[in-house]
C-alpha cells in the first residue's frame, strides 16, 4: 500500500503506466483459475491492474482496494467495472471469502507481511489462489542511490530505505510455504529503455522517492535533493551510445494455492 506520509499522484504514476502494467499482465496470465467468482486487487492504485483482471475474468465480482484517496478517486473515474474501497490492507478486515487475492507492487509498503499473508490466507476459498508481484528493490542499484543520499546529514532522513519492507526471495518462500501447499516463485528483470536519466528520476518520484521528498518542507530543498539523486543515477546507469538509458527493474512473483 502507500506510505501514510503523503498521498500519491495518479497522473505521475500513470505516466509510466506501460512499465508498471506489464508485470500485472504477466502475473495474471499465469494464474490457473478458469472462472473465479470473487477477486480482490490489493493496492489497486488508479485501477490499471484491476483493468487487467477485468479483461481476464469479465464475469467475476472484482473489488479494488487502496489506502490512497487520490488513487481510488482516479480508479472510480476510469470506467472499470469494480467496487472500490479506501482501506489499509494491513489492518482492514475482508468480508467473505475470495477466489483470488491479487496484488501488484503493494506489499513492499506494508509491515508485518507474515501476519498479513496469514490473514489473507484465511479469507481464501478452499481452492483459492493468492498471487502477487513485489519489486526486489534492494537488489537494484537504484536502492543504493536512494540509501546513500538519504544518510547525508543535510537531509536528516535517518535510515536509507526505511519506508520499504521487502524480504528476500528465500524469506518469502519460507513465509508462503508455511501457509500454502503449493508455491510458485520466480523473478523477472524488466529492462526499461528510458529516454534519459531525468526519466528514471521522474518514474521513481512517484514511488520510492516520494516518502523522502514528502519530508522536505521547501521546494528548493526538494530540487536540491533531486539534483543529487540525478547525479547518482547518472553514475549507476550510464547512457548507451544512442543516448538511451537502460533501467533494469527486478520483480519477484508468487502464486500460492
Which domains are delineated in the chain?
A: 10-138+164-194+247-256 (3.40.50.150)
- pLDDT on residue 92: 83
Task: Please say if the pLDDT value at position 108 is more than 80.
Answer: yes
Say how far apart CA 43 and CA 255 lie, in whole Å.
Answer: 17
Of 233 and 153, which is predicted with more confidence? 233
Of 226 and 211, which is predicted with more confidence? 226
For 94, the grid coordinates are: 475482508
pLDDT tens per residue, range 7-29: 667 666 656 567 788 999 999 99
- pLDDT on residue 12: 63
Task: Please say if the pLDDT value at position 211 is more than 90.
Answer: no
Task: Please say if the pLDDT value at position 257 is more than 80.
Answer: yes
In sequence order, the 6+-apart residues with CB closer than 8 A to the CB of 235 are none
- pLDDT on residue 182: 97
- pLDDT on residue 6: 58
Task: Answer whether 169's CB lies under 8 Å from 252's CB.
Answer: yes
Q: Partners of 9 in the beta sheet?
A: none
198: confidence class by pLDDT, cuts 50, 70, 90: very high
Say how far apart CA 149 and CA 155 lie, in whole Å.
Answer: 8
Q: Partners of 101 in the beta sheet?
A: 40, 130
Say how far apart CA 194 and CA 199 lie, in whole Å.
Answer: 6
Q: Provide, rounded to the nearest whole percent, the portion of the chain with pLDDT above 70.
A: 91
Strands 124-135 and 98-104: parallel
Amino acid at each position: 500500500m502507500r506510505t501514510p506520509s503523503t498521498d500519491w499522484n495518479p497522473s505521475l504514476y500513470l505516466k509510466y503506466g506501460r512499465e508498471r502494467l506489464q508485470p500485472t499482465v504477466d502475473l495474471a496470465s499465469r494464474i490457473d483459475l478458469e472462472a473465479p467468482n470473487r477477486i480482490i486487487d490489493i493496492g489497486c492504485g488508479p485501477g490499471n491492474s484491476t483493468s487487467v483482471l477485468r479483461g481476464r475474468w469479465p464475469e467475476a465480482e472484482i473489488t479494488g482496494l487502496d489506502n490512497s484517496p487520490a488513487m481510488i478517486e482516479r480508479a472510480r473515474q476510469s470506467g472499470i467495472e469494480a467496487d472500490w474501497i479506501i482501506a489499509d490492507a494491513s489492518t482492514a478486515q475482508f468480508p467473505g471469502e475470495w477466489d483470488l487475492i491479487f496484488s501488484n507492487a503493494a506489499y513492499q509498503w506494508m509491515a508485518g507481511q507474515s501476519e498479513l499473508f496469514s490473514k489473507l490466507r484465511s479469507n481464501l476459498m478452499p481452492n483459492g489462489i493468492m498471487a502477487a508481484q513485489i519489486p526486489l528493490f534492494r537488489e537494484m542499484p537504484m536502492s543504493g542511490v536512494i540509501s546513500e543520499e538519504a544518510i547525508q546529514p543535510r537531509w536528516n532522513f535517518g535510515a536509507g530505505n526505511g519506508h520499504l519492507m521487502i524480504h528476500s526471495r528465500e524469506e518469502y518462500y519460507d513465509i508462503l510455504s508455511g501457509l500454502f501447499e503449493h508455491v510458485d516463485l520466480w523473478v523477472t528483470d524488466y529492462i526499461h529503455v528510458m529516454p534519459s536519466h531525468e526519466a528514471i528520476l521522474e518514474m521513481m518520484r512517484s514511488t520510492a522517492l516520494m516518502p523522502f521528498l514528502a519530508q522536505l518542507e521547501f521546494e528548493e530543498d526538494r530540487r536540491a535533493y533531486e539534483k543529487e539523486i540525478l547525479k547518482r543515477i547518472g553514475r549507476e546507469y550510464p547512457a548507451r551510445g544512442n543516448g538511451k538509458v537502460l533501467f533494469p527493474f527486478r520483480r519477484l512473483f508468487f502464486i500460492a494455492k
